[in-house]
Structure 1
């Protein structure tokens, strides 16, 4: 690696935000077809040569570390469908400069792999779960896999993962009747439930009419018990955290539409096909794969990181009316 790399902490944008968190999608493939992610019919898949190799991903992460990246989350698609994903997690967990390495998964393959993931050095996982009803889960995801996901969550808890965050995309008329059930789940279990506002990204089978925003969700949860604010820690994302009085776990609200958290966003995203995105909710990206594969130096690649950061907007343009959307597909961007 070039010794002329810039000092730690260089990734500061025009809004004085320090970008130290890189979300890395390692595949666009997924073993589910969720309503809000996949349109009707088939969508093109990336070919083997289109996606970054693990060595390429590791090189980019190491360059990012030299620029101040301290937190990495591995995402997809579904990351566990890619062969070698757990070995990659282990290699990342052994990089001393990284203060936090975590995984987002849909949980279908979690039970079979939880011990290996833990042994690789990962302690924090996020599991996407939009229904506690097996039949409704199948309607949302296209597959009857609820029992496998729940088994995976229980297995992860027994092994010692903490916290286990459960991500719930709240959708009106689809799973809003389960919001209280998810809230109560945090009372009886040490899970961190995250209610996520539906965001219009790509071509899907849902629309802005399905949105249910945080104020309404929070008002519903408050009927269970007093919501006590919880301070965010170093490894926390944009969720506003609460604990229901007497609960073992937490609830949190990720409010990209109703309560922009852009002013303190610290994220960059690396897509599976080698694009750096400074914002999930913008189609703008900086291509890095071509430079990487054409013999680009570490310093040339570092400059692409800097360019992505300079292009990061003050705030995204999405709003609840759905007039503005992101054209790229979610599974291609990375969850």
Structure 2
């Protein structure tokens, strides 16, 4: 299939695909799977509703033919999906794919990091919202301490994987951990991304008052470090990056609440049950799984994806209001990934 580059109504190309491989996690985090909503009786997707690895591979090849250059595997916790390195191997062999990563809480990295690297994985994004074990146990809802995650980070580094730390900051919960996290990552040579607390899904009780903005975090860091801006590495890079002066270590901010980047968004998402979402804040996806299972050709699937992306005009963060936060239906993070 000849490689093309498709664009949406606002002239945004499709370059980046997030694939959620499973809808469950071994944590019940405050941010995306709060325990009061995702208790032991919560009905997760049956296996038959999940895309198979063969289906994911097929769709990934088609997405790459349409311009996608980067794929990140997400969840839930993607390492809970059986034989995940097998899928990584399949994806890493797709001609034209330049980058493949994985977002994880890090718990299972000591077991899988080496195998993932050998399968072709290039990097991992590890979610870590504090270095305080007591607070971290409260956030993850399982009482799991930080040491387990630090072991996972080390295992990824030892395996030769690139490592990036994602810290979601919520006012009154872990904003006191901003400087300690920056200090730790700087000393360890780890890239750190501060993520503004977002109104994803409908279960995390989001309020604007809970948001610590990029500007607030940046001003706090400036009290401790000299920071110099870094140019975007590519069109559509969502992180605003800075480098600690005199080092090659950078720190970034993902300000989707305070500084929208809708105008340069190049990202599509494929949920665990085969729905294409053109925006993280969408409540309605486009079912590609059932369409694909009707014995259609790759060209027909490509046409369907092209139609979905070409008709895209999502600008949720640009248009966010107090009313839209309350009334707009949004997909849960456990289904769509980050």
> Shorter-chain-normalised TM-score: which range?
over 0.9
For the aligned residue pairs, the C-alpha RMSD in angstroms reads 1.8
Deviation of 1:93 (Å) = 1.3
State the partner residue of 1:230: 230
Q: Contact 1:200/1:322 (CA < 8 Å) preserved in 2?
A: no
Deviates more, 1:168-177 or 1:297-306: 297-306
Q: Deviations over 1:297-330 (max 9, x none)?
A: 2122112211221232252146374742553211
The yes-or-no answer on 1:17 pairing with 2:49 is no
Taking the aligned partners of 1:63 and 1:273, their CA distance within structure 2 comes to: 18
Q: Contact 2:19/2:337 (CA < 8 Å) preserved in 1?
A: yes
Helix, strand or coil at the partner of 2:126: strand
State the partner residue of 1:333: 336
Q: Contact 1:111/1:156 (CA < 8 Å) preserved in 2?
A: yes
Q: Contact 2:137/2:145 (CA < 8 Å) preserved in 1?
A: yes
State the partner residue of 1:319: 320
Q: Deviations over 1:205-244 (max 9, x none)?
A: 4421321111111111111112111223249831011112
Deviation of 1:262 (Å) = 1.1
Taking the aligned partners of 1:249 and 1:90, their CA distance within structure 2 comes to: 30
State the partner residue of 1:51: 50
The residue correspondences of 1:75-86 to structure 2 (distance < 5 A) are: 75-86=74-85
Deviation of 1:68 (Å) = 1.6
State the partner residue of 2:89: 90
Helix, strand or coil at the partner of 2:136: helix
State the partner residue of 1:72: 71
Taking the aligned partners of 2:321 and 2:182, their CA distance within structure 1 comes to: 24
Q: Contact 2:236/2:264 (CA < 8 Å) preserved in 1?
A: no
Taking the aligned partners of 2:107 and 2:294, their CA distance within structure 1 comes to: 37
Gapped regions of structure 1 (runs ≥ 5): none
Helix, strand or coil at the partner of 1:108: coil
Taking the aligned partners of 2:27 and 2:321, their CA distance within structure 1 comes to: 26
State the partner residue of 2:262: 262
Q: Deviations over 1:69-108 (max 9, x none)?
A: 2211111110000001111112211223111111111101
Q: How many residues align?
A: 329
Q: Contact 2:104/2:126 (CA < 8 Å) preserved in 1?
A: yes
Deviation of 1:187 (Å) = 2.3
Q: Contact 1:38/1:203 (CA < 8 Å) preserved in 2?
A: no
Q: Deviations over 1:10-31 (max 9, x none)?
A: 3211111111211100000110
Q: Contact 1:170/1:195 (CA < 8 Å) preserved in 2?
A: yes
State the partner residue of 1:107: 106
Helix, strand or coil at the partner of 1:96: coil
Deviates more, 1:25-34 or 1:240-249: 240-249
Taking the aligned partners of 1:178 and 1:207, their CA distance within structure 2 comes to: 20
